[in-house]
Amino acid sequence: MAKAIPKFGSRRNRRIGSRKSRRRIPKGVIHVQAGFNNTIVTVTDVQGRVVSSSSAGNCGFRGSRKGTPFAAQTVAVKAMDTVVDQGMQRAKVLIKGPGLGRDAALRAIQESGIRVTVVRDVTPLPHNGCRPPKKRRV
C-alpha cells in the first residue's frame, strides 16, 4: 500500500527555530529558591510556563560557594538577562527558603530594570508536622 502524503510536511523539512526568543512577555513571576547550599532562580510567565531558569551550579560555582550571596546575585543576573530581552517589564517575586541568597537575589532583580510589584515569602512552615528524630547520644 502507498504511504499517505502528509499535508503539513514531514518533521525533517520543517525549520527548527528558537520559539522562546520570539515570545513577548510583559508580565511574569520570578521564583527564588534560596537554600543553604544552592540558589535557584526560575522566571515564568503568568500562566506558569518556564521562560528562564538558572542556578548557582549552572553559573560555575561549586561546593560551599554555591550558597553565598554573591552566587545568588550572579544567578539572578543571568536569569534576568534573557527575560529582559523578551520584553518583561513587571514581575512578582516569590521567595522560598532560609538561605543567604534571598536578599542578594532580590537586590539583583530590582537592579536589572524589571519593576517588582509584589514580593512574597512562600517558605513552607510546618504546623508541628513530622516527628523529629530521637535525641543523639554521644
| pLDDT tens digit sequence for 56-85 | 999 999 999 999 999 999 999 999 998 988
For residue range 80-122, what is the model confidence (pLDDT) as tens digits? 998 988 889 999 999 999 999 999 999 999 999 999 999 999 9
Residue at 87 is within a domain: yes
Task: Give residue 113's identity as a one-letter amino acid code.
Answer: G
Residue at 129 is within a domain: no
| DSSP H or E segment with residue 115 | strand 115-121
Domain count, the chain: 1
Residue at 130 is within a domain: no
Q: Is the pLDDT of residue 131 over 80?
A: yes
Segments of 23-89 assigned E as strands: 27-34, 39-44, 50-55
Name the grid cell of 21.
526568543
Residue at 77 is within a domain: yes
Residue at 76 is within a domain: yes
Grade residue 138 by pLDDT with cuts at 50, 70 and 90.
confident
Q: Domain of residue 34: give its range.
A: 25-121
pTM for the full predicted model: 0.78
> Between the CA of residue 81 and those of 21, 51, 105, what are the distances in Å?
12, 11, 14
Name the grid cell of 28.
511574569
CATH of the domain at 54: 3.30.420.80
Q: Is the pLDDT of residue 6 over 90?
A: no
